[in-house]
Structure 1
Amino acid sequence: MSLTEITTRLTKAAQDAGRDPASVTLIAVSKMQPDENVRAVLEQGHRVFGENRVQEAAGKWPGFREDFGDIDLHIIGPLQTNKARQAMELAQAIHSVDRPKLATTLARLADEIGSCPDLFIQVNTGEEPQKAGILPADTDAFVKEVRDLGLPLKGLMCIPPVEETPSLHFALLAKLAARNGLEGLSMGMSGDFEQAIALGATHVRVGSAIFGARS
């Protein structure tokens, strides 16, 4: 697979759903990819990338920004509170706000720094004990909490359970977002992003289908 093929599939999925393809942001997930793979995608003109780990992002993206200019970086993995400042200084969006302690830390830092990336609340739609995220039943209350802190909440994010039909989880996330007046839906990965687009995804996170399998 390649960036061109994924972009073509994204465009078709959006059109099939009666949507403007420009309403879907393709996040190229570059975690654990060698620099030459990332550079190849940058050289094709793509500028929106996702990283799981703040430390890896910090080692990679300042250099690429020097070479390629503005890059829209999204932190999509679990975020420790002690890495929050670094994440806020590096990224334009954080997709993994998943607990009150992190939200209050982000609010405090936003006051200090004077700005804050766009935020998405991670919802554990499968209620998996090993996975991060707010439970669906607690989502409305947490949305209110984040908003009351004055944070720029753009939407919700989910990672469906591997063994379950992803569209059920995408539909649940869309319902939770609509109920709370949130437009952003970060959902869908290499194997299911077309289903996610059909159900309203505004951000799809595609790694291996663009870069190939990680080393």
Structure 2
Amino acid sequence: MEKADTPLEKVRAEIAGTCRIARRDPGEVTLVAVSKTQPADRIVPLLEQGQRHFGENRVQEAQGKWPELKERFPAAQLHLVGQLQSNKAEDAAKLFDCIHSLDRPSLVKALAKAFDKTGRRLSCFVQVDVGEEEQKGGCAIAELASLLDRARDADIPIAGLMCIPPFDIDPAPFFALLDKLARDHGLEGRSMGMSADYPAAIMLGATHVRVGTALFGGRG
């Protein structure tokens, strides 16, 4: 195996190795480089190495750096991985390419209106509160079917489900739960796994892993 010199090469090698163990095609897993809090000059090297999917937590922060970056690297795809306020839906629709945090009926309504106004229909993951943690965003499991119906009725493209497991305990059962929920609802996408646990997420069906620290080494 060739030596992996850069953090991006190391993460890509880890993804490929985990996929081999899981008997999955590495092409099934999209690496989303979470660039929140990182300045543009730390993002450009990854773009130059061919990384194309990036994640941001806040619309306003992304507005400050990504229009210029997208002009320089038009193939870049921007994912909103943090909570989205309904009043920022139109701004998100203009800048982002995918939303990972659709979690409530009011946001369905706001996004449907924003998509109609901008003429852009972004793929969305429905965030599920798999750990029943009130302080985190996410749709309650009992309300998932209803929210999916509302989103489909509003002509919002549903890419799959997303979760953030509770910290400091084994995330595998929560990844397995999200995988089961996705299967039960006939959804292909599973946005799960971050720097500390993305190999486990891949073993349990992740299609999108959201990796920040392992690529950037901390906050900018």
- TM-score, L = length of structure 2: 0.95
How many residues of Structure 1 are paired with residues of Structure 2 in the alignment? 215
Cα deviation for residue 33 of structure 1 reads: 0.9
Aligned partners of 1:177 and 1:65: how far apart in 2?
A: 31
Matched, 1:72 2:77: yes
Q: 1:58 aligns with which of 56, 63, 67?
A: 63
Instruction: Give the structure 2 partner of residue 22 of structure 1.
Output: 27
SS in 1 for 2:37: coil
Aligned partners of 1:172 and 1:147: how far apart in 2?
A: 22
Q: How does 1:75-86 map to 2 (within 5 A)?
A: 75-86=80-91
Aligned partners of 2:40 and 2:147: how far apart in 1?
A: 37
SS in 1 for 2:124: strand
Runs of 4+ in 1 over 6 A off after TM superposition: none
Runs of at least 5 residues in structure 1 that lack an aligned partner in the other structure: none
Percent of pairs with identical residues: 50
Cα deviation for residue 35 of structure 1 reads: 2.0
Question: Any conservation in 2 of the 1:139–1:176 contact (CA below 8 Å)?
Answer: no
Aligned partners of 1:191 and 1:155: how far apart in 2?
A: 22
Q: 2:202 aligns with which of 165, 172, 197?
A: 197
Q: 1:114 aligns with which of 119, 124, 142?
A: 119
Q: How does 1:30-179 map to 2 (within 5 A)?
A: 30-179=35-184
Question: Any conservation in 2 of the 1:74–1:93 contact (CA below 8 Å)?
Answer: yes
Question: Any conservation in 1 of the 2:87–2:110 contact (CA below 8 Å)?
Answer: no
Aligned partners of 2:151 and 2:205: how far apart in 1?
A: 23
- TM-score, L = length of structure 1: 0.97
Cα deviation for residue 42 of structure 1 reads: 1.2
Question: Any conservation in 1 of the 2:125–2:159 contact (CA below 8 Å)?
Answer: yes
CA deviation profile, 1:145-185 (whole Å, cap 9, x unmatched) = 21121110110000000022111100111111111100000
Superposed CA RMSD: 1.0
Q: Which AA in structure 1 matches 2:204?
A: L
CA deviation profile, 1:117-169 (whole Å, cap 9, x unmatched) = 11000001000011111011211221112112111011000000002211110
Question: Any conservation in 2 of the 1:98–1:133 contact (CA below 8 Å)?
Answer: yes
Higher RCO (C-alpha 8 Å, min separation 6): 1
Question: Any conservation in 2 of the 1:50–1:73 contact (CA below 8 Å)?
Answer: yes
Aligned partners of 1:67 and 1:151: how far apart in 2?
A: 29
Cα deviation for residue 71 of structure 1 reads: 0.8
SS in 2 for 1:133: coil
Aligned partners of 1:6 and 1:137: how far apart in 2?
A: 35
